[in-house]
Amino acid sequence: MTSTDFDLIVLGWGKAGKTVAMKMAASGKQVALVEASPEMYGGTCINIGCVPTKSLVVAAERFQAAHPDLAKVTYEEANLGFLTAQSQRNQLTAKMNSANYGMADSKGVHIFNGTAKLTGPHEVSVNTGAEPVTLRADNILINTGATPVVPCIAGDWQLNRGRVVDSTQVQQLPGLPRSLVIIGGGPIGLEFASIFSSFGTKVSVLDAADKPFSRFDEDVAAVATEVLKGKGISFINSAKVAAVNEDADQVKVSYDLPEKEGNVLVSDYVLMAVGRRPMTDGLGLAEVGVELTERGAVKVDEYLRTSVPGIYAAGDVNGGPQFTYISYDDHRIVLDQLLGEGKKSTRGRVVPATIFLDPPLATVGLSEQSAREHHRVKVVRKDIAQIAAMPRPKILGNPAGLMKFLIDEETDLILGATLYCIDAQELINTVALAIKHQITATQLADMIFTHPSSTEGFNEVLG
Ligand X SMILES: NC(=O)c1ccc[n+]([C@@H]2O[C@H](COP(=O)([O-])OP(=O)(O)OC[C@H]3O[C@@H](n4cnc5c(N)ncnc54)[C@H](O)[C@@H]3O)[C@@H](O)[C@H]2O)c1
Q: Which residues bind ligand X (CB under 6 A)?
A: 151, 183-189, 191, 206-209, 239, 241, 273-276, 321-323, 353-356
Whether residue 183 contacts residue 206, with contact meaning beta carbons closer than 8 Å, is answered with yes
Instruction: Taking each helix axis as running N to C, give the angle between helix 187-198 and helix 218-230, from 0 to 180 degrees, rounded to the nearest 10.
Output: 30
What's the closest the beta carbon of residue 69 comes to ligand X, in angstroms? 29
| 84: partner contacted, choices ligand X, ligand FAD, none (Cβ within 5-8 A by kind) | none
Amino acid symbol at 102: G
Query: Does the annotation flag 188 for ligand binding?
Result: yes
Query: Does the annotation flag 428 for ligand binding?
Result: no
Query: Does the annotation flag 185 for ligand binding?
Result: yes
Amino acid symbol at 126: V
Query: Does the annotation flag 412 for ligand binding?
Result: no
Between 92 and 377, whose beta carbon lies closer to ligand X?
92
Whether residue 212 contacts residue 228, with contact meaning beta carbons closer than 8 Å, is answered with yes
Between 64 and 167, whose beta carbon lies closer to ligand FAD?
167
Report how far Cα 330 is from the mean position of its chain's Cα atoms.
16
Between 25 and 195, whose beta carbon lies closer to ligand X?
195
Which residues fall within 8 angstroms of residue 114, CB to CB, at 6 or more apart?
34, 36, 126, 127, 128, 129, 132, 133
What's the closest the beta carbon of residue 115 comes to ligand X, in angstroms? 23
Between 180 and 355, whose beta carbon lies closer to ligand X?
355
| 359: partner contacted, choices ligand X, ligand FAD, none (Cβ within 5-8 A by kind) | none
What's the closest the beta carbon of residue 324 comes to ligand X, in angstroms? 8
| 100: partner contacted, choices ligand FAD, ligand X, none (Cβ within 5-8 A by kind) | none
Among the listed residues 67, 110, 331, 451, the single catalytic one is: 451
Query: Does the annotation flag 190 for ligand binding?
Result: yes
Query: Does the annotation flag 54 for ligand binding?
Result: yes
Between 146 and 283, whose beta carbon lies closer to ligand X?
146
Interface residues toward ligand FAD, by CB under 6 A? 11-16, 34-37, 40, 43-45, 49-50, 53, 115-116, 143-145, 167, 188, 279, 282-283, 315-317, 322-325, 327, 356
Residue nearest to ligand X (CB): 186
Between 41 and 323, whose beta carbon lies closer to ligand X?
323
What's the closest the beta carbon of residue 259 comes to ligand X, in angstroms? 17
| 13: partner contacted, choices ligand FAD, ligand X, none (Cβ within 5-8 A by kind) | ligand FAD
What's the closest the beta carbon of residue 5 comes to ligand FAD, in angstroms? 19
The span from the CA of 318 to the CA of 313, in Å, is: 6
In the annotation, is 451 catalytic? Answer: yes
| 16: partner contacted, choices ligand FAD, ligand X, none (Cβ within 5-8 A by kind) | ligand FAD
| 275: partner contacted, choices ligand FAD, ligand X, none (Cβ within 5-8 A by kind) | ligand X
Other beta carbons within 10 Å of 313: 29
Query: Does the annotation flag 200 for ligand binding?
Result: no
Query: Does the annotation flag 83 for ligand binding?
Result: no
Between 132 and 275, whose beta carbon lies closer to ligand X?
275
| 151: partner contacted, choices ligand FAD, ligand X, none (Cβ within 5-8 A by kind) | ligand X
Whether residue 158 contacts residue 176, with contact meaning beta carbons closer than 8 Å, is answered with no
Query: Does the annotation flag 311 for ligand binding?
Result: no
What's the closest the beta carbon of residue 41 comes to ligand FAD, in angstroms? 8
Indicate the annotated binding residues for NAD(+): 184-191, 275
Indicate the annotated binding residues for FAD: 54, 316
Indicate the annotated binding residues: 54, 184-191, 275, 316
The set of catalytic residues is: 451
